[in-house]
Each structure stands twice: as structure tokens, then as C-alpha cells.
Chains A and B, each alone.
Chain A
Amino acid sequence: MKRRTLQYSRFLALLLVFALMVGVVSAQGDRKVLVDAGNAVGASDVPTLDPSLATDTSSIQVLIETNPGLTRINEVTLETEPSMATWTVSDDGLVYTFSIMPEVPWVKYNAETDAVEQVLDENGNVRYVTAEDFAYGIRRSIGGQLGSYYGGIMASWVVNGDAVYAGELPVEELGVEVLDTYTLQITASKPAAFLSTIFGMWQAYAQPAWVIEEYGDFWYEPESFQGYGPFTLKEWIHGESITIIKNPFWPGTENIPVPALDEVKMMVLEASAALANFEAGAADVSIVPLSDIDRIQADPVLSEAYYVGPGSCTYIYGINTAKPPLDDARVRQALSMSINRQALIDNVTKGGQQPAFFFARPSLAAAPHQEDYPEYVLGEDVEVARELLQSYLDERGITLDQMEPITLAHNESEGHARIAQAIQQMWTEALGITVEIQTQEWAVYLETIKSDDAPQVFRYGWCLDYPDAHNFLFDVFDSQVRELGINWNNEDAAEFDSLVEQAMVEPDMQTRTDLYAQAENLLTNKDAAIIPIYYYTSLNLTQPWVQRTHSQFGQEYFEKWDIDLSARP
């Protein structure tokens, strides 16, 4: 999860995001729409459409529409709801039995006839999505030796998953069983409240075995791609756009209705170019460039189209607690307390983000809200920060000038650079310390911050994979899975581990929330091993003739959108 979420948050911070720039394609009254797969600097294309290998938001955005999972997250309530299947759970919370919707055909776009066609098998019968297809997808992700990142994440939750992933057991030993054509049973290795969400993630989507066997590694190109969801892949101009087209054979369900839109085209555009298109009326939905937010808010037309809603990520500075002077909690607290988060949001990041003192986003299940636990919130107080730093200096008997220099690292990006420069200045003004900013290219940066030798302070972001506090507190900071080089190893860290592990299996919601609040207290307040900065928001511009939902987790469900053709110029 780390990988995708980090990339993802980087995009969000840049606001060059994979968000939606829906452009009108046709003037003929078709409900056609273009969606921007607008990747940020560097990656300028959707990296893959292989569900087993997808790790980034743009790939998942396409797949979520072409190959819906067994379950899926409601984009507004963040609750897990039936998608391709309904399910039952055994009393011990370990055996999940999924009843898959019958007779949903596999489909394929035929470029010659410009139509979506049902896929036939070798006997000329329509191929329906079966439990076998889902089992194939899961087995391929976990046991296919593809190096599937999310296959590895899922492996720890399925019986024998880790061993199969490592190649120590044959894939048949995996706890996934096809009971009949439309019934799939997954046996979990341990119970958890959010398992139904994990089994609905993209690495567990149904995959067409016959296509993958015939076409090999690049089976997901439009010439061979097959899907079954409300949309299917129509066209993919690498580095430029990707188009999905309505699947007329999609039966429509309560959660996934028959789409009103005929087509959605996602364009790879930089934020400023996307805005220019939007202002020219050439796009229906656009991402929002940071530099233009003030103008958008002041403009009578654009401000109507401007939407700010909750995002799915948290922006933090991680701290390598082994490196002096940050090996002392007082210095870490001083740094955290001397950041003026609201000023940073108002003047630098703009998009209405929320100041964060806890790591887990409040929208997650079981996540404590910082206003409910004021005694656990470190807060901001420059005076106290100065006293803390001074007491640390006095204890060591040194002056500020003799203190070790502090390095603040971030991956190369305009947005992170601005935030880092602003915080650098805040620390200099409040505490008189000098901070050197260091930037690294993304891949190297990831290695750097995961090594024991991580920089003293380093920028990090985390976005939800499934809406539970576990995904934030356990998946990132529990020492069993922790990859970040924060080197947080004292007795408080041990207590943190026991708290989040307890919360993982605790059935009562309020008790879980309390446990997570105590864990947050250790992580962000008492020990201040990280400095939470803000909770992301999701921003977009939507033309008035688009009726849509606003997703809180990064992907949109276009089948719930519509365009008012009479209002469109």
C-alpha cells in the first residue's frame, strides 16, 4: 500500500492530479465525456491496466469501471457495499462466501464496428463472469510470481497467502475456493472488520485467463482488453488519453447503475493546461492548479464550478528519531508545535485543507477525531516550543549554534518544495534553528526514507486503501510492517504496537477508537515521532451541466454521473 499511496499523495500535493478533467467529445447530443488521467511530472501515462500490477490511482480509476470487484467502497459514505457479489461471513469471521451476480458477460470493444460486443468462448457461447475468473485473478496476483505489490498486501490476509506469495507453497494451497460457477469462498488467515473491503480491491478483480494466456504481458491493450463493468476500454493513446465506453450489456445494480454517459475520455494534462481547457469550455471537469485557486475563488463563474471536499490522504513529516538532535522528544515536539498549520494552508497549500494533529484521517472507521481527545493533541505554541528546545539545550549544556544541523528532505515536486520552504522559515523564525532542505528524485527518495539512515525530517504522505484507521496506524507504523526509517523503538513504540494490534481484533467500535486515540497520543504527541501537518482535500472544477458525485477516496464512479445536454452550450 505504501507504494501506491505515496505516489498518489505526491500527485495530490502537486495538484497535477489524476483527477477528473471531463471534456466533451461530441457535439451530436451523445452523452460523451472525457476524463483526465492527467498524471503528474514524470509519469505521463497510465502505467498499466493489469489488475495484478496496478499500484497507482490512474490505473485503478480505469479498472474500477471496467472490472468491478466483489465488493466496493461507496465513494461518499466510504462504506463497503456489494458490487459484483453479496457475501456472508462465518461466525469466527474467517470464511467469506461470495455469491457472484449471474450472467454478467465479458465484453470487448470492437474498433471496426465501433461497438461493444459480448465475448464468446470457443463453442460460441457467451462468456459470463464466474467465480473461477475471480479466483484466477486472486491466484495470479498472489501466486503468479509477478511481483504484484498489492498481491503481497492481500497475501497476509488469506490462508497460506504469504507462503504462496513467496513461492514456498503451490498456488492451489491458497485459501481461495470455487464452490460453484457463481460462488467463491475465501478463507482469511485472521479476522478483521475490513476484510470485505480488502477482498474487493483491484488485485482481486476477475481477470480473463484466456486473454492473458493468448496475449501475454500486454494483454490489457485495447486490441485485446476484456472487461465486464459499466464501462470498458475503448482507446488508449499512450501519454495522451485513455477512453472508456459504456458497456450496453451491464445489467445495472443498485450500487452500480447502468451508466448515463456514453463515453468517458481521460486526458493526460498538466493542471494549468487542464484549467485552460476548462475555461475555454472544452472540458467538463478539471483538476485545480494550486496557483490559480485565488483567482478561481474570486471569479464569479469559476467559483460556482469549484468544489472542495474531503480527500483521502494525510500529509506528514516523518522524523528519524535516532539522529541527534531529533533523538530527543522535546526537540521533535518543539518542531511540531512551531508550525503554523493554518497559515500554511491559507497561504501555501490553499485548497481548504484541515490542520492535522493526528495521523489517521477522521473520516476513517474507528479513527479518533482530534477535537474529541484534546488531551492527546500536541497543538501549536511557539512559546512552549522555545522552552522545550531550551530545556533540551540546557540539559546538554550547549547553545543553539552547537546543535547538530537539521536536514529536511522531500521528493522533488513544486508543491512539496513550497511547503518545505514555508516550514523552514517558520522553524527559523520560531526557534532560531537553521534547516537545510534536500530534495531527491522519487525512486531514490523512497529508498532513502525507508533506510535506517533516513534524513532527520522527511516528507511523507499516506492515502487510504480501505477506510479503516488500521490502514493508517497499523499498516504504516506498527513495527511488524513498518518500512519507514523513523527508528522509533522505545517503550512507547512497543506500547503503540500493542495498542494497534489490540485494536485490530477489537470488535467494539468505541473501544477501538479509544485504543487508536491512545496510539495517536504516543505517535504524534508524547513521543512526536511524526509531525502531522494537514488532511488533504479533493478539489475539482465541474461545469454546471455535469451532475456528479464527488468521491472521497481518489477514484470516481462515472456510472453515477450525467450530463444535462440542454444546458450544455
Chain B
Amino acid sequence: MSVTDIASLSEARPKGDSLWMDGLKRLARNRMAVLGVVIIIFFILVAVFADQLAPKSYEAQVLADNNAAPQWVIDMFPVMTSKADGGYVTVSNDYILGADDLGRDILSRIIYGTRISLAVAFVGPILALIIGLVMGLIAGYFGGIVDNIIMRVVDIFYAFPTLLIIILMMAYFRGSFNESSSQGTFGYALYMADRSMGGMLFIFIGIALTSWVGLARLTRGEALSARQREYVIAARSIGSKERGIMFRHVLPNILGPLIVAETLTIPTYIRYEAFLSFIGLGVNRPTPSWGSMISDGSRAIASYPHQAIFPAIALFLIMFAFNFLGDGLRDALDPRMRGVE
């Protein structure tokens, strides 16, 4: 027996982490991903505490302060000159980022606009996960005729152009109904529901209709390969129920790629909302959304660049954050990357 400096063998064996812990650790080492997480958490906090954070109301107008800007903003953009210097911009340091064309505080509107963007960012993937994951799992695990039927449905929905559907729904439901002539119809009920949700209903429906198909395909593929694995055969051999195998054994093993895929899709949903608001089909006024703020601001970009640039920066930051988080997750959760520094 040779001399050893360890007390027991167990000490020599490196402690095994679960896949998830390992992934989390690797994620924590990815600086960009961490930055993304920090930004996302920051925006979540902003959205949650908007009422406390916003210095002013997002809808109260001070008409006399229309298009006002603080001195530092004027200094930042050479095109803007204050009235004191013979220019045209009302200087008011009351507004940290300036005021819009109706004298509303831009900072407060950006803060409240966070709620809209984040609502879309989270509702989209949740809907996709609920529908797409279940459909894909069932199709992939059972195969055969079930698989065939579900995948043909997926093919049909895959052909739907999301934005066009949302625009069509908005144009139809918002434009076609008036108070009494259509009261009681289904369309009118939808229109009223949309109004009570501030104009978000059709964005959600549109995303729900089409966002799940990609995820369903991915899930099916993963499930198809997973059901051939030894652990599934083992589980079946000891008499586990199908549903148990599907959700307890298959699902956790294929979840990684799905989460990555969905995280990388979040910017798309945010972009949908911003785009729709930009073309005037988003949330109802005066509720602020970054897209509608950029749209309003872009009209005045030659005279008041700050009105479009600040909401654009906010939009850029959150898209950037989700993209880097998605990239980081992909690296972290990929089993092939395991142990790679």
C-alpha cells in the first residue's frame, strides 16, 4: 500500500453537478450573458415599480412644454438650439429626457412602455411553450398517426404569416365595429376585449396562433430521438406510465434546446409589438409603447431627435439583452459544451 495524502476516495472524485447546475455555472462565466440577465432584471424591476419610479404621469400633458428638452439633451444634439440662443427648443430641466409633442415626460413614458414590451416578451414564449411543447411532445413520443395529424396541423399553421395575421385582425376587428350596430356579435365581443386589454389582445392571439409551431417541430424532433434512449426503455420496463415517462423523463432531457430556442425568439415578439405600434396598430393611446414613441418621434427627428432616440435605446437594450442571454444559454446548456472552458 502506497502512501496517500487523501483521506478517502470520495474526496478524490470531483463532485458531479447536475446538468442544470453546470449550465448555470457556465452561464455565470459568460460576461455578455450576465450583462443580458442584469439588463433584463433591471427592466423587469422598472416595469414592476413603474408607478414608483416614473417622475411624472405618462399621460398628463403640459401643452406649454411641448417638445421641451433639458439643457444636456440640447448640448448633446448639435441640431437643437434653445430659445435663449435664438433657437426653437423650450428648455426645461424638469424633464430628465425631455418632453414629447404634447408635453408629456419622455422618461415616464419609456418606463411605462417597459410594461408593454415585457408583457409581449413573456406572454409570447409562455403561449408557445404551453401549446407547442405539449403538441410536439405528444407527436414525437407517440409517433405514427398521432404524429402525422399533429404535424400536418403544424404545417398549416406554419404557413401563417404572423404579422399579416395580426394586422388583418386589427384592421378587421378594430375598424369594423361600432357601438350598437354590431353589439352582441362575436366580433364585437372580441373588439371590446381588445379595448379592455389596451389593444394587446390581437397581438397575443397572433403570436399564439403562430409562435408555437416552431417549438412544436423542435420538441417533436427531440422527443423522437429521446424515446429511443435507454432511460426511456428502462423506465418502460419497470412499468412507468406513458405520461410519466413523457413528462418526467423525456421532457427534462430535451428542455435545454427548447429554452434556448424560445429565449432567442423573444426579441422577435418584442419587435412585432414595436413594429405594430410603429405603424399605428399597437396598444391604444395614450398608453405608451416604445414602438409608438419611436414612431411619433421619427416624425420630428429633424427637429427633436431625442424623442425617437431615447425609446430606441431602450428597445435596443432589451433586444440586445435577450439575444445575449439566448446565446449564453445555448452555450451553457449544450451537452457537448460540457466541461469545455
Contacts and interface: CB of A to CB of B under 8 A. Distances in A.
A291 interface: yes
By size class, the interface of chain A is 20 to 34
A425 B61 contact: yes
Interface string A384-427: 00000000000000000000000100001010011001100100
B102 A272 contact: no
Interface string A326-370: 000000000000000001101110000000000000000000000
Interface residues of B, number: 34
B180 A453 contact: yes
Contacts of B175: 440-441, 444
B244 interface: no
A437 B175 CA distance: 14
A297 B64 CA distance: 17
Nearest to A436: B195
Interface stretch (B41-49, B134-142, B296-304): B296-304
A275 B171 CA distance: 31
Nearest to A420: B285
A276 B176 CA distance: 37
Interface in A448-463: 448, 451, 453, 455
Identify whether the interface residues of B are mostly helix, strand, loop, or mixed.
loop
Contact of A289 (B67, B86, B87, B299): B299
A298 interface: yes
A279 B303 CA distance: 12
Interface in A178-236: none
Contact of A422 (B63, B86, B87, B178): B63
Contacts of A455: 178-179
B181 interface: yes
Contacts of B83: 298
Given A276-B302, A441-B171, A453 B181 contact: yes
A212 to B, nearest CB: 35
B178 A297 contact: no
Contacts of A275: 302
B178 A448 contact: yes
B300 A291 contact: yes
Given A275-B302, A276-B302, A444-B175, A291 B101 contact: yes
3 tightest A-B contacts by CB? A291-B300, A298-B88, A347-B63
Given A291-B67, A347-B64, 16 more contacts: A272-B299, A272-B302, A291-B303, A294-B67, A294-B88, A295-B303, A297-B88, A299-B88, A344-B63, A347-B66, A348-B101, A418-B101, A418-B102, A440-B175, A453-B179, A453-B180
25 contacts: A272-B298, A272-B301, A272-B302, A275-B302, A279-B302, A290-B299, A291-B302, A294-B67, A294-B88, A294-B303, A295-B302, A298-B86, A347-B63, A347-B66, A348-B101, A418-B101, A418-B102, A421-B285, A421-B286, A440-B174, A440-B175, A453-B179, A453-B180, A453-B181, A455-B179
